Structure 1
């Protein structure tokens, strides 16, 4: 049947105004949503790797800076701690005679050089096997009675002295040090002080009193001490004896007959 133009226009208007005839509108689900490649965040870090199929720009490559090489430093060697074994000096009246052999100390009784002047000689430099480290010492001949032999040594010459000797030793070996000790009776202070070092470690400070002493009766005693094995760490060990007086200056502790022997 042929429709009139007026009827067709009326039918079209009815279809456009009817809600039921409108096509349904759908919202995209999350799964259907995708970002355009241009919306992806782009890292500006040079450490981001280029994707497959693309070539990295030379300017995007990280620049590696060579680190300066550290100058090797020598590792300081720790100084071994002194043994826990106590250091105790014994005292025996009189001056013991040094052994004929085995003594590690050379010229320990100070018999050379021979004093030929007025009974004593001031020493400011090295002498037979001994080194004067500081100040001055005094080799004494006939001025007073020696402890052993004919000569002895005053630690204070014209000033407070210090002397040393390098001894041939064995690492890890215990030793016994003994020496005769007295005091210059001619001047102050009455109490003379000294300190003894083994391998640059102090064995202790000692004192000797000149009260009651004179040039004939020097009152010699023998002092002895055992040096623990771990105090000796090399084949050469310095033995040093130093005046610790702080007044006077010419009348110090007097030494004779120094002996060092290995012991078990």
Structure 2
């Protein structure tokens, strides 16, 4: 098979880890192996390794990837396989995940690129040791309770149909003014939720910072999987394993203090958000 080298992550090069990867399959069903960094044609002893698979060139060279990135089904398969390899690694060792579809022409070039970026990778692996990533999301409900637009429209139709005279007689101003009052109440209720969300966000920042080593702020998620809730805060935290329970408890406590909004904590995950590009990486294929 004419192949290129697909890279999943950086790890410390150890023989036991290489042996445990023997049964693992990655992208395109290919075996997963360790590729040590190399100085010229010679391996660097006691150093780092790329976790790699040999994948078909026809699917992963530069021109093929340009086409494949338009194929959502293919992207999903590759992303799932990539994630499963990283997840399996994270259960065994400290792992520095790399971007999906990081590909090199051959093992020699990959080994030289790893050696060239040794120092930043080694520093980052040291910082990630005995840590995991946790996600914290803050979301708003679709509408405050009791102010659903459909209910307002239904009430207006009923008032217009039969109660217009009675409403005016009672001094309510008719269905038009009743509608406006309800819309104003709805606006006030929504603003109350947003004020609570701002306070909850500040409380989350303070609570999580007491237990986390680093934070990365992501753009809010807009996905059908989130349902009717509006995500307004989507952060990732790097948390030491020894602080994980305290971190979860602190975030949950903030969620309980602000019941008008939804606070979620997820993880532990491999530290995708805290991987960094090498400072001097040879361009992949």
Structures share fold, TM-score greater than 0.5: no
Greater fraction of residues in strand: 1
Greater fraction of residues in helix: 2
TM-score, structure 1 normalization = 0.21
